[in-house]
Amino acid sequence: MENLSSNKSFGGWHKQYSHVSKSLNCTMRFAIYLPPQASNGQEVPVLYWLSGLTCTDENFMQKAGAHRIAAELGIAIVAPDTSPRGDDVADDEGYDLGKGAGFYVNATQAPWNRHYHMYDYIVNELPALIESTFPVSNKRAISGHSMGGHGALMITLRNPERYLSVSAFSPISNPSNCPWGKKAFTAYLGEDSAAWRHYDTSILMRDAKDKIPGLVDQGLADDFLTEQLKPELLEAAAKANDYPLEVRLHEGYDHSYYFIASFIEDHLRFHGGYLNG
């Protein structure tokens, strides 16, 4: 790995690294916030944050205001990029496919299947790298926003043994049934929608047997609420399976990081109750 930057923050350190990813067949960048407890010989738990369309590792770390509470709770935060990167990585003219839009799936269709294996990267490769390099434990939680909210929920539902808790802001709740998801899934996974089910949160939640506590916040002034996000379908799936998911709706809040910054403390304390419990 190469350390690209280091900044002290609330007694801890925010650092950026690059490394060669075997899963993605390219060089990737991630950010990590190490709370002050990690400098005192203590292994700390980790919250993985998955960002949304067009984002990188920088958006959450710079805009969410999460470091202060993470430092208090003794939780590391890891923020990966949202897709493979590089000159030879396939891309699309639209913002909702290709670079910055990996959707946290393992692509099976050319040309995407050469690099776009974000599912494997997030579930296996990146945690193994983090846990072998930094003073962290194997206690994990996961969260995300929009496309990353889809990723966090979907990955937890498919790997409940790996996470103690999950949360999301404004997640794409039923990607098989919205324009963003249909475009991405068709490109990455093919025309057969049966393959999409393995990456669709609302479908997975209805069938889940192992249940991990979850929290979702959604702004009701979100421009993408009705067409793309469909939180009512996620809530219905949770109720149908008695899944321990709390869905909170907030008047006046939109899709931006102003919304995330307003409620990130709630999410960190929610995760802290399980990671430190």
Cite the active site residues.
Answer: 146, 222, 255
Q: Is 190 left (phi over 0), alpha (psi -120 to 50) or beta?
A: left
Q: Are the beta carbons of 132 and 118 closer than 8 angstroms? A: no
Q: Any long-range contacts for 4-11 (C-beta under 8 Å, 24+ apart)?
A: 4/29, 9/33, 9/67, 9/71, 10/35, 10/36, 10/67, 10/68, 10/70, 10/71, 11/35, 11/36, 11/71
**The token pair that represents 149 in the structure block:** 């909210």
Residues in the chain, total: 277
How would DSSP label each residue in 26-61? EEEEEEEEE-GGGGGT--EEEEEEE--TT--SHHHH
Bridge partner list, 245: 214
Q: How many helices (H) and strands (E) does the chain have?
A: 9, 9
The one-letter amino acid code at 276 reads N
Q: Are the beta carbons of 173 and 229 closer than 8 angstroms? A: yes
Helical H runs in the chain? Answer: 58-63, 67-73, 118-120, 126-133, 147-158, 179-189, 201-207, 231-240, 257-275
DSSP one-letter code for 218: E
Burial class (CB in 10 A: 0-12, 13-18, 19+), 82: buried
